[in-house]
């Protein structure tokens, strides 16, 4: 049984993109002297700022942020050109300096030949056989989480869904990365985990070097120090368990056994960088996806009921397995629709290193190009009535007719997220096992707005009531 790819980078509807010559300048907005539009961005927030200008200026526009220009794109043609067609002209240069300060040099932040070699080394850990083993681990962790929830709320109750999903996905990340015998979950305080993405975002706009003792820099050092201590301790423990069969089934164990083309093992620092990247991405994005799924289901009772019915009818009272993932089709559709409406992250950047033509508009060295996924996933006519939560948009026949470059929840091209299938499988399992075990109801009349802070977070707790089945 073959499971579908998370996000195809090509397909029978892929088009060859031709753009008119000569190119023209992008519609632009300058803002104030020296600071440009930074005050408006901070006042409005990223989503309102970008969407108001996309509506007024179109799917490719230029805005001045301080002394630099940012070119914001949300057209499918632009995404294919930047991520595949002319990808060498767009690099992860200094726009990734702040993430590099925390994540180090891993798959997300490396460039060029160094990235290609690391991707080659990491790819086997996300092939089908490895994922099948990790799915079994996920089911064990979700089962323990639900039993713990039952002990804490024997009659059901009301929970902050984001808080609970962070707890659950952190446990999944720790167990699949490190194994049950390598690291204790209490070693990293919960508030530190919540700070990781925020502190990287703060450093992005912090003008002073990291050694200057500002409040932001002290916060950064505290969070990075706490994370590094846990990661390096986990690496040391794993080295002492090299012959343990449990260790060999973890991503850390595989990394310790990895050698490059010259037979050299990865350094502890390289292992640290990959673990931190997977550690952050492995729970933050899935936790937010599940939180947003419940928030959106609160306004879609028919979708909620169909999802719950699929899970109950397919699974009954048994635990799901790897083979069930291809049968949980509606759960997959609900997750994909959630990721369309709540893109995590909503925006990423590239440095332009060579002149190019993007949808007929000129860009060149010195520009920062921003891929606005939120806008791409609302680009019409690809997405009529774009704010409507309709999982049927991701039925197989609908996906087959749609240009694949209109939907990129994990980016696209050769740098598409390596953990895309891991994340979708985890989401399907969480949704199916939660719907199987309990009845869920989003508390009505909550005002929950998306806030773009590196990732896309809810503006308030997502409160959900439940009772056990």
Q: pLDDT tens digits for 391-433?
A: 999 999 999 999 999 999 999 999 999 999 999 999 999 999 9
Banded pLDDT at 1 (limits 50, 70, 90): very low
The DSSP bridge partners found for residue 411 are 409
Distance between CA atoms of 7 and 413, rounded to whole angstroms? 10
HSE, CB side, 13 Å, CA atoms: give it for residue 57: 22
Integer Cα distance of 396 and 390 in angstroms: 14
Distance between CA atoms of residues 2 and 336, nearest Å: 18
* Portion of the chain with pLDDT greater than 90, in percent: 61
Cα dist from 367 to 23, 452, 454, whole Å: 16, 22, 20
Mean pLDDT value of segment 85-98: 92
Q: What are 255-273's pLDDT values in tens digits?
A: 888 887 788 888 999 999 9
Q: Which has the higher per-residue pLDDT, 318 or 276?
A: 318
Integer Cα distance of 139 and 145 in angstroms: 10
169-228 pLDDT, tens per residue? 988 988 888 877 555 455 666 666 667 777 877 777 666 777 788 888 898 888 888 888
Q: How far is residue 411 from each of residues 84, 374, 394, 419, measured CA to CA in Å?
A: 11, 12, 17, 11
pLDDT the model gives residue 236: 85
In this structure, are residues 175 and 466 in contact, taking their beta carbons and an 8 Å threshold? no
pLDDT of residue 239: 83
Domain boundaries, the chain: 28-468
What confidence tier does 25 reach under pLDDT thresholds 50, 70, 90? confident
Measured CA to CA, the distance from residue 253 to residue 239 in angstroms comes to 8
Q: Mind spelling out the 3-state secondary structure of 59-87?
A: CEEEEEECCEEEEEECCHHHHHHHHHHCH
Fold of 28-468: Cytochrome p450 (1.10.630)
pTM: 0.90
Task: Quote the tokens at residue 437.
Answer: 């075990």
| pLDDT of residue 147 exceeding 60 | yes
Q: What percent of the chain has pLDDT over 70?
A: 90
Alpha helix (H) residue ranges in 153-188? 161-178
Quick one: pLDDT at residue 205? 67
pLDDT tens per residue across span 39-86:
999 999 999 999 999 999 999 999 999 888 999 999 999 999 999 999
């Amino acid at each position: 049984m073959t499971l579908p790819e998370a996000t195809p980078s090509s397909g029978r509807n892929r088009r060859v993109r031709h753009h008119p010559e000569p190119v023209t300048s992008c519609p632009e907005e300058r803002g104030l002297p020296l600071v440009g539009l930074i005050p408006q961005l901070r006042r409005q927030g990223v989503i309102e700022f970008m969407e108001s200008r996309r509506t007024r200026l179109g799917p490719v526009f230029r805005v001045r942020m301080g002394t630099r220009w940012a070119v914001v794109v949300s057209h499918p043609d632009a995404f294919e050109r930047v991520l595949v067609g002319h990808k060498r002209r767009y690099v992860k240069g200094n726009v990734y300096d702040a993430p590099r300060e925390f994540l180090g040099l891993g798959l997300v932040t490396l460039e060029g030949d160094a990235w290609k070699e690391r991707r080659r080394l990491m790819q086997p850990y996300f092939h089908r056989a490895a994922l099948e083993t990790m799915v079994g681990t996920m089911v064990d962790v979700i089962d323990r989480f639900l039993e713990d929830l039952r002990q804490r709320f024997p009659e059901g109750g009301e929970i902050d869904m984001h808080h609970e999903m962070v707890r659950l996905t952190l446990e999944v990340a720790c167990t699949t990365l490190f194994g049950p015998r390598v690291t204790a979950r209490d070693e990293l305080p919960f508030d530190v985990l919540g700070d990781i993405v925020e502190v990287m975002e703060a450093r992005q706009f912090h003008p002073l070097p990291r050694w200057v003792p500002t409040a932001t820099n002290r916060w950064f050092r505290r969070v990075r120090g706490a994370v590094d201590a846990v990661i390096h301790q986990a690496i040391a423990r794993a080295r002492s368990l090299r012959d343990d069969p449990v260790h060999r089934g973890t991503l850390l164990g595989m990394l310790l056994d990895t050698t490059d083309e010259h037979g050299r093992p990865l350094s502890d620092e390289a292992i640290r960088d990959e673990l931190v990247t997977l550690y952050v991405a492995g729970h933050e994005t899935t936790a937010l996806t599940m939180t947003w799924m419940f928030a959106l289901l609160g306004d879609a009772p028919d979708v909620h009921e169909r999802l719950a019915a699929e899970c109950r009818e397919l699974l009954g009272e048994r635990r799901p397995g790897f083979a069930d993932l291809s049968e949980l089709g509606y759960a997959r559709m609900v997750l994909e629709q959630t990721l369309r409406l709540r893109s995590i992250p909503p925006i990423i950047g590239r440095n332009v290193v060579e002149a190019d033509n993007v949808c007929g508009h000129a860009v060149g060295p010195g520009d920062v190009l921003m891929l606005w996924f939120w806008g791409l996933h609302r680009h019409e006519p690809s997405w009529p009535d774009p704010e409507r939560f309709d999982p049927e948009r991701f039925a197989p026949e609908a996906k087959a007719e749609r240009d694949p470059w209109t939907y990129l929840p994990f980016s696209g091209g050769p740098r598409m997220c390596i953990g895309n299938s891991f994340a979708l499988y985890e989401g399907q399992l969480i949704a199916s096992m939660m719907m199987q075990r309990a009845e869920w109801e989003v508390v009505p009349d909550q005002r929950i707005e998306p806030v773009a802070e590196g990732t896309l977070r809810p503006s308030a707790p997502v409160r959900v009531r439940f009772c056990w089945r």
